[in-house]
Structure 1
């Protein structure tokens, strides 16, 4: 059975893969100490703030469901992007629903995050934020997929973009969800 942190781990793996493609096969080290394999359980723990035990269990669940596969050359887990995208677009908001909460200080997400902020202008709408003590924006609280998401997003812009797009889909507002789906499809394709 999938847990919400599985989505966070998979999005981090996708972010690392994207970084490799951009940097010519050198893994991106967002949030990980130099010399440490960012794909290792320890590297993912450091980057995401999710315990090694949970990261390991998450990868096992994702491999058994087919949303992740082992790379034949490296043995690293890789995101099965087509199936993962299908799950996010068609199932995520039902499995991990979200309801905007009280006003709180936090890190902008969904249409208020940098990835969508310039594309969508909602007159008078409250922004959505992940509650976060170091956040600078006030908005309606949105519970992140995992409690350490704000810290992980601060360390990795690509991961932040993925998480914000996923939240726009989770919130289920048609205009935002359609744009987020389109942008996520471009990134995960």
Structure 2
């Protein structure tokens, strides 16, 4: 199978499960001998996008930078997994139009669930005004209208969400099927 690059863009609220799914996808894709790289929004912000704030313009610039790197990777046969909140629909659509092989995965969890999962306490800080322009609290998250895949992480286990994504990637010939192991005695 010829290696076909891809940008798999996971979008959703903070604590929706994007990082969990991206790590699980990375493990499984490496098991299948795929070239894979994860671009996690939190990590990218500390290097590639250092110095950007949280205005709409800065968030869109951050997304464009991530998309540029992800597109370079995908053009070279790598599956680039982007795990970033990516709150604005128009900016995500811009990424879709500029990247040849683009799959948008909406990691969907209700705000209440994300707040309950929040180990870093970011939602609590945003609720009392210690953290401004926080997505979902005082800055909007514009849900995808027609994502390619939706994972309902409040109702699905991580394994169920991963299986859903992997099945679609197999159907669209981005990845080989999971190898069947046969034992001969």
TM-score (norm 2): 0.26
TM-score norm. by structure 1 comes to: 0.26
Work out which of the two has the higher radius of gyration on C-alpha atoms and give 1 or 2. 2
**Which has the bigger relative contact order, CA under 8 A and spacing at least 6?**
2
Bigger share in helix: 1
